[in-house]
A = this chain, B = another copy of it.
């Protein structure tokens, strides 16, 4: 089941550089594991913004929430979820 997600990253500019680097490394690893597991089929950078559009593929909404709230960056994210249905014109 597909969910469209917009994530805006609100990292405080004065966050300690090491803390920041470690956090982003964990975030990247977490996301790439999910991508390899087929849970995160699409991840695009919104041009000019520290934000992304993603499409997640999960079994149910609880799994969706666990996946998103488990993101290392979660405390600094503004997230908007939109459930996606099959479009009648999609081939």
Contacts and interface: CB of A to CB of B under 8 A. Distances in A.
Interface of A is mostly: mixed
A83 B36 contact: no
A62 B86 contact: yes
Interface string A34-68: 01100000111111111011010000111011101
Given A53-B82, A83-B81, A83-B83, A61 B90 contact: no
A42 B64 CA distance: 20
B83 A47 contact: yes
Given A13-B76, A76-B13, A81-B83, A89 B27 contact: yes
Interface of A: 1-5, 11-13, 27-28, 31-32, 35-36, 42-50, 52-53, 55, 60-62, 64-66, 68-69, 74-76, 79-91
